[in-house]
Structure 1
Amino acid sequence: MNPKIQVIKGDITKIKADAIVNAANTSLMGGGGVDGAIHRVGGPAILDDCRKIVARQGGCKTGQAVITTGGKLPAKYVIHTVGPVYNGGKGDVAELLRSCYRNSLALAAENGCKTIAFPNISTGIYGYPKAKAAEIAVNAVKTFLNQNEAIETVTFVCFDNENYTFIEEQLKLEF
């Protein structure tokens, strides 16, 4: 196992890290699941930053990432990334999901973050199969860490036992 990567079961809004990642929607205006929780707990400063991003670039495309303040969260920043809707695996969903992790990590590194926490992107209402999503997530993070020294710790914060188990299994595999 890579000592820079850990998995925990918990609530990402309680994680103390330089950055936490939000599984956002393209509008960046908050929503359900982890997105709604981050906006509720973090307060209006996050939404204010999101509005500025939308005014500047019109939202966030699937696979891309943007950064805002962490507001009232214990994290300094929130990195918002838009995961793909699985839709039976049609299109380039695996590459788009991989891009979410890669672009979030790159944005964290660019902003001097040493620690980052990820939720399970696209495995809720977007319907990505949890086992496949875990494999993509862990491999994307391992690849990034092998090529970049900036990030010291990556934490996968799983809300449910199923995602936790799949991430844990992937972390045990040799890369």
Structure 2
Amino acid sequence: MATVEIIQADITTLTVDAVVNAANSALAGGGGVDGAIHRAAGPILDQECRTIRQTRYRSGLPTGAAVATSAGNMPAKWVIHTVGPVWDNSGTQDGLLGTCYTNSINVADEIGATSIAFPTISAGVFAYPLERATRVAVETCLNARPDVVRTILLVAFSAKAERAYNKALKELKG
């Protein structure tokens, strides 16, 4: 069983096996954590993402799916890209958001990663409410049963996000 830890940090600087990228479907880099990861990893990441788009995901990476690349210049070994749902006020997307975490952990298992660091998927430009996004993340990761992954880091981008993660953890652990 994996341990779930919450930290506030710059995800691009973490020494873990895999860092998860809250990607866009084109795997093209963008704003927020996606842009930061692409900048930190360097041109090799763009090249690998282009190859994936040209060979495996010509129509773009589907929401909830996950795929791995190398981490380029970052201290991590791999980047696992996943596309979170865009918030639409329906309240029906929590399962899809949870799938991003589950599929990323499954990919981490497949590549042999023992540690994985997640940003708060969909809580940036995809406008998912922070408290809801952190609760889905904590709940999904607590319920995960990976074979290889031993450490799951939920990386807060701000003190507010860290508080939201800790609140969810406290509520879910009782």
Matched residue, 1:64:
65
**Matched residues in 2 for 1:54 and 1:112: separation?**
23
Cross-structure match for 2:9: 10
Secondary structure of the equivalent of 2:152?
Answer: strand
Is 1:85 paired with 2:97? no
Kept in 1, the 8 Å contact 2:2–2:152? The answer is no
**How many equivalent residue pairs?**
171
Residue 170 in structure 1 maps to residue 171 in structure 2: no
Aligned pairs for 1:90-169 (under 5 A) are 92-144=92-144, 147-169=145-167
The amino acid of 2:126's aligned partner reads Y
Q: 1:78: how far off?
A: 0.2
Question: Could you tell me which residue of structure 2 aligns to residue 50 of structure 1?
Answer: 49
Aligned equivalents of 1:3, 1:79: Cα separation in 2: 18
Using the alignment, how far apart are the partners of 1:101 and 1:89 within structure 2?
A: 20
Deviation at 1:150, TM superposition (A): 1.6
Equivalents in 2 of 1:3, 1:62: separation in Å?
A: 25
| Separation in structure 2 between the aligned mates of residue 85 and residue 10 of structure 1, nearest angstrom | 24
**Post-superposition shift, 1:89?**
2.7
Please, what TM-score do these two structures have when normalized by structure 1? 0.93
1:89 partner SS: coil
SS at match of 1:88: coil
Does the 8 Å contact 2:17/2:77 carry over to 1? yes
Residues in 2 aligned to 1:93 and 1:3: alpha-carbon distance in whole angstroms:
25
